[in-house]
Amino acid sequence: MSRLSELLDVGKSNTAKYAILAAVVLIISEITIIVYNLYFHPLRDYPGPTLYKASRLPWAFKFATGSQAFFVQKLHDEYGPVVRIGPNHLSYTDPRAWKDIYGHRIGGESSMNEMSKAHTFAKTIRNRPDSILTLNRDDHSKFRRALSHGFSDSAMREQEPMIGKYVDLLIRRLHEECENGKKKLNMEAWYNWTTFDVVGDLVFGQSFHCLENIDYHPWIETIFKSVHFGAIMVALTYAGLGELVQIIFKFGSSSKKARQYTRDMLTTRLAMEGKRDDLFEGVLKKREEWNLSFDMLSANAFILVLAGSETTATTLSGATALLLSHPDILAKLQQEVRSSFKSADDITITSVNKLCYMLAILNEALRLYPPITSGLVRIVPRGGQQVAGRYVPEGTFVEVQQWSMNHSKDNWKDPWEFRPGRFLDTPEAAAKAGNKLDTLQAFSTGPRNCIGRKYGNP
Ligand code: HEM
């Protein structure tokens, strides 16, 4: 008698026998998958660590614990410009990957005009209403056109006094709170309070009053919690537990609370319809024509606030930390600002564009502390595609992780050093010095790049 039949036979109940059989089948199928992933998978010749080529679990674990971007950067140092970070998943630091993965495509079926976002990452919860981040190609372009009015230069100029009001309040509050420079303040929180107040006003027509209350609004605290929760849900889905995720989400309370706050704020905003020319008005005007549901409006308002606030606050926090640890660069920046304006009133959205050194500092801060470190995962369309000069089969997850791209020694001279001067060179001179300036794409590229980049970085 074989070992398996001995195991199943001797003095065991039917239930125990079935459980053992199921375990054996599971183990055999897992081993088969691992062997396939390592030796027969179309990506088998791409470099990467064996464990990550064999199974999705190690990457999922790193993602859930928030360490994957830092880990993948180290893998690029070891394995080069393309690394197989999961059985079906490639990460790139080759600059050509920006265009190949995220760029515009011309011709073909409309759904083929761009490499779609991978649902595992972009639409982890299936029955949630779509937002601009998840809409299909055609709906996305329509929606984006409607939004773009609120992001135009003329709209920005109209919004300027309102934005200025919050910046003035930030400066006043800092003076009040810092006890003449003796008291330490958590600038990351202050920047978040400011950007959430601004974007809250730009989208919902109401401030979160963080700067007035010197504290986070409960909505923001709930959002921060739900972002971490969301990463765990993505990791579980990636590991093959997508169905479990749908159930967990159904009963999870923190995201329910966030959605309720959003609905309340949207109700207040809808009462102002037609009276404001802000980021959301363009979409509201199309509400009836496109039959946009309240839930869809709410999902988009939520994304706009989140996309515009925390990202900008992270950039400012990074820039502040870098400037404070490099007094010589800070002094040069002070000199530029103070010699460019006679009074604070001369500082406007337009006039700051002449501050070349400040813009270089912001670029360097975005390079060293990209607010979106990773997670912009796309899926290779039918028929496969060339990425960075090599064929990738259909269905593969592909991505550029900003943290890896921006810290690659193939792209930057001394990638870990804070050197704003590298952005003052012409692209040719910079390339000679070892800096490929256009590998910095903090706002991504192509049809789904950041619509708010002028707000995030003039
Ligand atoms: C430093 C600040 C910012 C950074 C680094 C940043 C970065 C990005 C990136 C990388 C994307 C692409 C996401 C994807 O492919 O899924 C994106 C999209 C987007 N961002 Fe920003 N962003 C910033 C500021 C803002 C601001 C201030 C707003 C609005 C007030 C905004 C609104 C959006 C929206 C609506 C999208 C989705 C665009 C689309 O799918 O068509 N962002 N951003």
Q: What's the 443 CA to ligand 1 centre distance in angstroms?
A: 6
20 with 144, same domain: the answer is no
Query: Distance (Å, rounded) from C-alpha 437 to C-alpha 85?
Result: 26
Is residue 280 lining ligand 1, measured as CB closer than 6 Å? no
Provide the pLDDT for residue 2: 58
156 with 12, same domain: the answer is no
159 with 12, same domain: the answer is no
167 with 33, same domain: the answer is no
Is residue 254 lining ligand 1, measured as CB closer than 6 Å? no
- Contact predicate 458/350, CB 8 Å: no
Q: Which domain holds residue 65?
A: 50-456
Provide the pLDDT for residue 150: 86
Task: State the closest ligand 1 atom to the C-alpha of 444, by its place in the atom list counted from 1.
Answer: 10
Q: Which residues of the chain have pLDDT under 70?
A: 1-12, 106-113, 252-255, 455-458
Mutate to test the pocket of ligand 1, among 140, 143, 278, 311 (most ligand atoms within 8 A of CB): 311
Provide the pLDDT for residue 282: 85
241 with 308, same domain: the answer is yes
300 with 245, same domain: the answer is yes
Tell me if 287 is assigned to some domain. Answer: yes
Provide the pLDDT for residue 110: 44
Q: What's the 45 CA to ligand 1 centre distance in angstroms?
A: 35
Tell me if 29 is assigned to some domain. Answer: yes
Q: What's the 2 CA to ligand 1 centre distance in angstroms?
A: 61
What's phi and psi for 109, nearest 5 deg? -60, 150
CATH number for the domain spanning 200: value is 1.10.630.10
Query: Distance (Å, rounded) from C-alpha 102 to C-alpha 292?
Result: 27
Provide the pLDDT for residue 106: 63
- Backbone dihedral region of 85: left (phi > 0), alpha (psi from -120 to 50 degrees) or beta? alpha
90 with 147, same domain: the answer is yes
For the stretch 324-327, contacts whose Cβ atoms lie closer than 8 Å and that sit 24 or more positions apart, written own/partner, are: 325/418, 326/418
Q: What's the 97 CA to ligand 1 centre distance in angstroms?
A: 19
Number of domains in the chain: 2
263 with 359, same domain: the answer is yes
Tell me if 45 is assigned to some domain. Answer: no
Provide the pLDDT for residue 29: 87
Provide the pLDDT for residue 89: 98
449 with 303, same domain: the answer is yes
Provide the pLDDT for residue 41: 97
Question: pLDDT digits over 275-308, tens only?
Answer: 787 888 888 888 888 888 898 899 899 999 999 9
Tell me if 380 is assigned to some domain. Answer: yes
Tell me if 101 is assigned to some domain. Answer: yes
137 with 12, same domain: the answer is no
Is residue 133 lining ligand 1, measured as CB closer than 6 Å? yes
Q: What's the 312 CA to ligand 1 centre distance in angstroms?
A: 10
Burial, 137: exposed, middle or buried (Cβ in 10 Å; 0-12, 13-18, 19+)? Answer: middle
Question: pLDDT digits over 135-193, tens only?
Answer: 988 889 988 988 888 888 888 888 999 999 999 999 999 999 999 889 999 999 999 99
Provide the pLDDT for residue 416: 98
User: DSSP per residue over 375-388, as a string?
Assistant: ---EE--TT-EEET
Provide the pLDDT for residue 8: 60
Provide the pLDDT for residue 457: 60
Q: What's the 303 CA to ligand 1 centre distance in angstroms?
A: 9
Task: State the closest ligand 1 atom to the C-alpha of 372, by its place in the atom list counted from 1.
Answer: 10
Tell me if 221 is assigned to some domain. Answer: yes
Is residue 121 lining ligand 1, measured as CB closer than 6 Å? no
